[in-house]
Each structure stands twice: as C-alpha cells, then as structure tokens.
Amino acid sequence: MSWLRQVPSACYMTLAFVFIYLPVVVLVLFSFQDGLLPVPPFQGPSLQWYERMFDNRRLMEALLNSIVVATLSSAVATLLGFLAAHTLARKHIRFAGGARYLLMAPITVSYLIIGMGLLVTFNLLGVSRSLFVVGIGHVIINLPLCFAIIFSQMGDHQKNIERTAHDLGATDLQTLVLITAPIMRPTLFAAFCIAATLSWDEFIIAFLLSRFDVTLPVTIFEMLRAGLTPEVNAAGTVVFAISITMVSIAILLSTRRKNNNG
Amino acid sequence: MAEITRPPIRGGFDFSRWAIVPAITITVCFFIVPLVIMLLVSFWQRIGGKLEATWTLANYEKFFSRSYLVDALFNSIEVALVATIVSVLLAYPLAHILAYRVPQRWQRFALILAVLPFWTSYVVRSYSWLLVLSDNGIINVALQSIGIIDQPLSMSYNRGATVLGFVHFFTMLLTLTIYANLVQISPSYRRAAADLGASNLQVFLRITLPLSVPGIAVGAFIAFVITIGDFITPQILGGNTELLIPQAIMLQVARAANFPMASVMSMTLMAVVTITYLAFAKYLKMDRG
C-alpha cells in the first residue's frame, strides 16, 4: 500500500496551501462584494467597487505615480547593474572583491534604515521630499538585486563572442551595446521585471520620502485608516494581478533562457 | 578555460574598466553617505526645534533609559525570532514534500503555486489577514456557524496576528530557499546511507537535514532582517497593544520630527541586523554560475 504512505504528505500540503491562499482568496472574493463591508456573508458578485476604484482620482494618480517610479527606477538599476557586472565579470580590476561587497551591501540592511538614512540626509541638505527622491531610494534597493542576477548570468561562454567582436575592431562600448546586451536581453528583462515588482510594492521608503505625490501602496495604507472597505480589496486585487504578470514574465524569460543554453 | 589577456587593440579610454563607476557612485552617495550622516546625527542634539552639531551620547542614554523604547527593541527581536522559527518549522516539511514526494514534472508548477501569493502587495497582504481574523471575519463566521464558539474569538490586533502575518509571508520564502537547497543534494548520498542500513529517520537526521542548513540559513536570515525592520505588518495587524521598534522610529519621525532620536533607534536596529548578518555570513556567499 504505497499510496497510504503519501497520505500525511498530501494532508500537510493541502493544509499548507489553504494557509497560503486563505488571505488571497478572501481578498479577491470580497472585492466582488455587493455590500459595504468586505466580510461574510458574501453577496454578489458585483463590480461596483472596481468602478468606484477607477473613479477614485487619488487612487488613479497614485497608480500612475507607482508605474512611473517602478519603470524608471528599475530601468536605472538594471542599466547600472549591467554595467557594473560587465566590469567585474570581464576585467581584472583592483578591489574587485571590495566593489562586490559594496554593491551588495544595501541588501543586508532593512528598507526602513535605507529610507531613514535618505530622509535624514535630504532633510539636512534641504532637499524636499518628492517622487524623484523615492525613485533614488528604489534604485538603491534594486541595484544589488539587478547586479547579482545579471552578474550570475555573465557566463564565460559569451567571452569568445565578445573577443571576436573586439578582434574585428569593435570598441568596448560597441561590443557591450551590439553584442553583450542583445545576448543577455532575457536576463536584463528578467532583472528589470523583478526590480519593477519590488518597487511597485515598496511601502516604507515611499512613505518616508514622498510628500504630495504618493505611490499606490502609500495611498492604500492611508485608505485603511478609514476602515475596512471592499474598495481596498479591489485595489489590492488589481495590484496583485499586475505583480503576478510581471513576475510571470520574469520566470518565463529565465526558463526559456535556460532551455536555450541546454 | 585558458585565458589569454591581451592589451586592448586601441589605446586610450578603456570603457569596460570604468563601467562600474556609476553603480559605485550611486551606492556611495545614496547608501553609504546617508548611513554615515545618520550616525553623525545620532550624536547631535535638537535644541529649540533646530539641529545642533554636538558630540554627545545623550540620545543613546535617553534611548536606553526609556523603558518603552528598550521594550520596543526587545519586542521586535522576540517577534522576529518567533516568526522566523515558526516559518522554518512550517516551511521545511512543505519544501521536503515538494522536493521528494511530488512527481518531478509537477514540482516546478507546485513550487510556483506555493509561492505565488508572495507577490501580493505588502500592504494588502496584512490587510487581507485582518479580514480573515476580524471579529466578523471568515474564521469567526465559519466557527460560529458550525457551533464551535458562541462569541467571536478576538484574533486580530495583537502580537499573535502580527506573527501570523509574518509567518504567512516567510513560509513561502523559506519553502523556496529550502526547496532550492534540497533538490541540489545528490540522491546518491541518501541511497548510500539507506544501503548501509540507515532508517528513513536516520537518513533525514544525518544526511538531508545537515546538508540543507544553508537553504534554511539564507531564508531565515532574510526573514529575520525583513521582520525586524517591518513597519506595516505590526501597524496594521498588531493594533495598539505593543510597540515594535520600526513603529517607534516612525513615531519619532512623524509626530516629533526628532531626527536625532530616530537616528539612534535606526542605528540600534542596524546594529542588530549587522550582528545577525555576521552570524549568517558564511552561508551568504554569492557565486557566478
């Protein structure tokens, strides 16, 4: 009876999945609530809270802000991470180990501390809080990640192609733009997607460093002060859907890459 | 691969060598310098609403003499420890089942499914747990309808709810790191041990578990660091029953605009994180594949 031995495993896995999915299911289900409170009994389904959400100007502005901050800060983090990874993977420079530690350092510190450091510094310099400053914070938290992802994929197998380009007279910059970047496009895009998802979700830095223009997580947090409402469920469901889409793209790209390389 | 280093064909500016400079500059300007400034400000004083560059340990003395602030620090450490340990205990069996019981071709799918809610927005995730745990939430309604309880259990707005919120998040993360570690362990080790007469339990305790320590360590480190610096989860789920250190920092910033005190607390938090990092450092190496 070998299947009998699988029963405890199957039970544990089922319970674990119930635990993992319980809040998500409740969130999504009650975003379709036809009533004032996102708690049982469930009435509906109704799309009224989604309509309400799309009519909420504050929420829509925050959505736009989040998209702008996530896109720009991730693009910068991916670009800088790519350039740094290129130097460290291809050149023997002095202090390479130290440079690697420095680039990875922000990942070992809480977002709260990074945000506080920037807040105290900008406050002292008289720089006022803004979305741009939030973007700087997001570059800092995403740069180590982008660097690590891209660096880990800069395999030696690309070296020969790069060297060929060199021998045919291409400059370093031409090689990087015309050869290395296209070969690594899936990795670069995967790094960008992961960074964009993290920036899109990030709360504490955005909360500390923004003032009038805020991002979506900050707006949702402020909505929570007014109490439980299915509108937050609707907004949360949309945010979740967008995150999942970006992560899925990143996963698909990295899988395809692995298969291509055999 | 044999490597021939040759001089660049063209002289002059070596672009590749300098490509690292922007990343280093950004990290120094917006990470290292702010940390140094925050350290300096933690010794400064606020006199009449203005910052004065003094060199005094008064802020630190104040922090460690106010019992509610020291309590906040210890509450945070406790919550982070409990959440991390419980997450490891819940995640390990799940990762083990995924790696060894689930058929190979379903593993990837099952793993992705197990960590999908990891990507629910951070603020929204805590809010969702509030819906689940609240007095008229789904658990209380379900328990009441089948008659186990008459009065709703109060499960939200306390430390338990905060820990639960963290455990939910990190069970997924740790499942991922432990699974990644387990599938890298060569099956021949376990087979050899079994051939030599080890029971299943012995194989697990003497082979699998010791070899999966790095996966546990990486996940536990990330879980601890994120938990101890997290403001949202205790703020939404914990209610006002107790203060954790990130909440205390936010109060100093938002209510009092007391940057020296907030800096003291941030530096203290950073010290705790650094000590944790040093304890885990040997498992956190980065390799180029």
Q: Which domains does chain B have, with CATH numbers?
A: 68-283 (1.10.3720.10)
Compute the CA torsion angle B260, B261, B266, B272 (nearest 10 deg). 130
Say whether A100 and B286 touch across the interface (CB within 8 A): yes
Please name the member of A90, A111, A203 whose beta carbon is closest to the beta carbon of B123.
A203
What are the CA-CA distances from residue B261 to residues B31, B40, B254 (Å)? Answer: 20, 12, 12
Q: Tell me which chain B residues have a C-beta less than 8 angstroms from the C-beta of A244.
A: 116, 119
Per-residue confidence band for B12, with pLDDT thresholds at 50, 70 and 90 = low
Is the Cβ of B201 closer than 8 Å to some Cβ of chain A?
no
For B20-33, write each residue's pLDDT tens digit. Answer: 999 999 999 999 99
Residue of B nearest to A151 (CA): B288
Residue B103 has pLDDT above 60, yes or no: yes
What are the start-end ranges of the E strands in chain B? 45-47, 50-52
Q: What's the rounded mean pLDDT across residues B60-81? A: 91
DSSP state of B183: T
Q: Tell me which chain B residues have a C-beta less than 8 angstroms from the C-beta of A26.
A: 128, 131-132, 137-138
How many Å apart are CA A108 and CA B26, to the nearest integer?
Answer: 17
In order along its 262 residues, chain A shows pLDDT tens digits of 566 778 888 899 999 999 999 999 999 998 888 888 887 777 878 888 899 889 989 999 999 999 999 999 999 999 999 999 999 988 888 888 899 999 999 988 889 999 999 999 999 998 989 999 999 999 999 999 999 999 988 877 788 888 888 889 888 888 888 888 888 888 899 899 889 989 988 999 999 999 889 999 999 999 988 888 889 999 999 988 988 888 888 888 777 655 554 3
Residue B6 has pLDDT above 70, yes or no: no
- At residue A213, φ and ψ (nearest 5 deg) are -85, 120
* Per-residue confidence (pLDDT) for residue A262, from 0 to 100: 36
Q: What's the rounded mean pLDDT across residues B80-99? A: 94
Say whether A40 and B136 touch across the interface (CB within 8 A): yes
- At residue B47, φ and ψ (nearest 5 deg) are -115, 115
Residue of B nearest to A142 (CA): B27
Contact A104, A157 (CB under 8 A): no
Both structure tokens of A247: 């992560």
* Per-residue confidence (pLDDT) for residue B239, from 0 to 100: 81
Could you report the predicted ipTM of this complex, rounded to two decimals?
0.88
Compute the CA torsion angle A173, A176, A181, A183 (nearest 10 deg). 150
Both structure tokens of B144: 């009441």
Cis peptide bond prior to A23, omega within 30° of 0: no
Say whether A176 and B15 touch across the interface (CB within 8 A): yes
Class level of CATH domain A46-261? mainly alpha
Please name the member of A6, A91, A118 whose beta carbon is closest to the beta carbon of B16.
A91
Residue B2 has pLDDT above 70, yes or no: no
How many Å apart are CA B221 and CA B233, to the nearest integer?
Answer: 18
B275 burial (CB, 10 Å; 0-12 / 13-18 / 19+) is exposed
Q: Which B positions 3-62 lie with beta carbon below 8 A of chain A?
A: 5, 8-10, 14-20, 22-24, 26-28, 30-35, 37-38, 41, 51
Say whether A92 and B5 touch across the interface (CB within 8 A): yes
Residue of B nearest to A136 (CA): B30
Say whether A105 and B31 touch across the interface (CB within 8 A): yes
From the centroid of its chain, how far is CA B214? 16
Say whether B168 and A30 touch across the interface (CB within 8 A): no
* Per-residue confidence (pLDDT) for residue B73, from 0 to 100: 93
Is the Cβ of B275 closer than 8 Å to some Cβ of chain A?
no
